[in-house]
Structures are given as structure tokens and as C-alpha cells.
Amino acid sequence: QVQLVQSGAEVKKPGASVKVSCKASGYTFTDHYVYWVRQAPGQGLEFIGIINPNGGRTSNAQMFQGRVTLTRDTSTTTVYMELSSLRSEDTAVYYCARERDYYDTSGSCFDYWGQGTLVTVSS
Amino acid sequence: DIQMTQSPSSLSASVGDRVTITCRASQSITTHLNWYQQKPGKAPNLLIYAASSLQSGVPSRFSGSGSGTYFTLTISSLQPEDFAIYYCQQSYSSAVTFGGGTKVEIK
């Protein structure tokens, strides 16, 4: 069965970096893009970036440009999100999600999600 | 970015009620619209994709409709396990965006 398993919770100080992993299994790793989305406490969902595991091409949301790096390791079927220059506003649960194309038309959705990784930024 | 606006932000309903949540896009997104359910401490779960297609394994009491800029999610007969937060999400742009969420609470 398809699974996305994320690394554990992190506590970081302002200015530090954090790297969250997302290990995929149960499907062909290079067949699906992986998105990163975050959710601050009590808030909604916010797009961070996308990685194409087939080749490693990435695209990030404007607000994270210069601070987020997405990578993948095809040998371990794992994608990584590294966020630098952390500030208190980055405290959130970070999710990876598998993108699946619609069956009959253009467009896509997120059919599998990781369990989430809580990143707490505090001095 | 395409803005997604959900209403209401919260609602109270009883088991067996029919519930409708709306989602508006700031520009036409044709039918590139998905709905998710999120329960406390859990990741979102896909309910509806392409505006009106039911994800495999999701109960048929959930349905979606709409196109362009206006969309609805309807729960035909609310069940105890449906109390949760619901989000719409557009995939018209690769820079996906989500609505602010609608919390469905027990009356």
C-alpha cells in the first residue's frame, strides 16, 4: 500500500535550519510529484513547494524563495524539505503529499499524505 | 496566486442534517477543484477531486459540484464521524492554494 512516512518532531532556535524527510513506498517513486504543505497551529494549509522525483526539478512558493530547498534520493525513495533562517512564524506541522493526476481530464489532487512533522521554532 | 474563499468558516449541525459548504475562486479554475476532510491531529484526506468525482472509499453521502469560480461540497446526511474541518483546494495553478476551511461542529 502507498505510504508516506515523515521524520519526527523538531525543536529549533530562530535562525537555524531544519530538514524534514518523507519516505515513499508502495508505488513507483518517480511516477508522482511530491508537494510540501504546512499548517500553523489552528490555521489553514499553505503551499511550500513541489519536487519532481524524476529528475529532481523543483518549484517553490514565492514566499519561501531563497529559504527552502527540496531534494530527493531515488535510492531510498525519500524526499527532503530543508527550511533555513527559521523564525517563530515557521512553527507549524509540515506535510508531504503525493500528487495524482485526474483520471479523465487535466488537473491533479493529493491522494496520499504523510503523517506530518511538527517543527517548533523557539528561543 | 489564485485566492480560494470558503463559507461559512464554521457551522453547527445535527446528525442527519444536510450540509452545504461553498468555495469561490478568485478566477476561473474550470473544474480543477478538490475537497479534503481533516480531523484533529491528522493529515487531510481527499474526498472529492475534479469538482465532482468521489474518491475511492469515500461514502456516497459526500458530493461536489460546480465549475469556473463557484463550487459546493454537500453532505447529504451528516454522520457523527463527519464532524471535522473541510478544505477546498485548486490545482489549476501548480502553486496550489487552499480555502480557509470550514469547521463542522455538533449542534
How high is the pLDDT of residue A106? 83
| Nearest Cα residue to A92 out of A29, A17, A39, A20 | A39
| B90, three cell numbers | 485548486
Interface touch A59/B100, C-beta < 8 Å: no
Average pLDDT across chain A, whole number: 97
Interface touch A44/B92, C-beta < 8 Å: no
Please classify residue B25 by burial: count the beta carbons closer than 10 Å to its beta carbon, then call 0-12 exposed, 13-18 middle and 19+ buried: buried
pLDDT of residue A104 exceeding 90, the answer is no
- Mean pLDDT over residues A53-63, rounded? 96
Identify from B3, B10, B87, B91 which residue to disrupt to test chain A contact, counting A C-beta atoms within 10 A and taking the largest count.
B91
pLDDT of residue A77 exceeding 90, the answer is yes
Shortest distance between the Cα of A85 and any Cα of chain B, in A, equals 22
- The percentage of chain A sitting over the pLDDT mark of 70, rounded to a whole number, equals 100
Residue B32 in contact with partner chain A when CB distance is under 8 A: yes
Interface touch A61/B46, C-beta < 8 Å: no
| Closest A-chain CA to B86 | A44
Q: Chain B 61-80, CB below 8 Å of chain A: which residues? A: none
pLDDT band at B86 (very low <50, low <70, confident <90, very high): very high
How high is the pLDDT of residue B15? 96
CA B37 to chain centre: 7
Shortest distance between the Cα of A57 and any Cα of chain B, in A, equals 13
**Residues from chain A contacting residue B53 (CB–CB below 8 Å):** 102-103
How high is the pLDDT of residue A105? 82
Interface touch A113/B44, C-beta < 8 Å: yes
- Whose cell is 490555521? That residue is A43
| Nearest Cα residue to B6 out of B70, B92, B81 | B70
Radius of gyration (C-alpha) of chain A in whole angstroms? 14
Interface touch B99/A102, C-beta < 8 Å: no
- Mean pLDDT over residues A68-95, rounded? 98
Shortest distance between the Cα of A111 and any Cα of chain B, in A, equals 6
How high is the pLDDT of residue A111? 97
Lowest mean pLDDT among A4-8, A102-106, B45-49, B69-73: A102-106
Residue B18 DSSP symbol: -
pLDDT per residue as tens digits for the range B6-62: 999 999 999 999 999 999 999 999 999 999 999 999 999 999 999 999 999 999 999
pLDDT band at B101 (very low <50, low <70, confident <90, very high): very high
